[in-house]
Amino acid sequence: QVQLVESGGGLVQAGGSLRLSCAASGNMFGINVMGWYRQAPGKQRELVARITSGGNTNYADSVKGRFTISRDNAKSTVYLQMNSLKVEDTAVYYCKFERNYPTYLDFWGQGTQVTVSS
């Protein structure tokens, strides 16, 4: 029902910046949450940031003050601005859509690679 396509990943040096985009298509009506998750080699997938359809946000402690999540509902797009990147930020980043009401549904994007070199 909802399709997600991430873009903007790449190779950057530590201290640099990247902006990830997630373009959504399909039924985006109602209350929902868009999130960015990441998975590094040998690690479990973890939440990076979330934003609700009302604009409320939350972040993992490891990225607070460095990453900013935002959304443009008119364009059905969510962004992740990543500043002051660290080597430990290296991972595949995934976009996720969640709807809790009237039933729970979620959809994942294909992922985009972010590599930070020292």
Q: Which of 115, 49, 47, 55 is nearest to 80 (CA)?
A: 49
Model confidence pLDDT, tens digit, residues 60-99: 999 999 999 999 878 889 999 999 999 999 999 999 999 8
Model confidence pLDDT, tens digit, residues 3-53: 999 999 999 999 999 999 999 998 776 788 999 999 999 999 999 999 998
Q: Which of 110, 89, 109, 74 is nearest to 18 (CA)?
A: 89
Separation CA 4–CA 93 (nearest Å): 12
Separation CA 115–CA 72 (nearest Å): 26
Strands (E) across the chain are located at 2-7, 10-13, 18-26, 33-39, 46-52, 57-59, 67-72, 77-82, 91-99, 105-108, 112-117
pLDDT of residue 1: 81
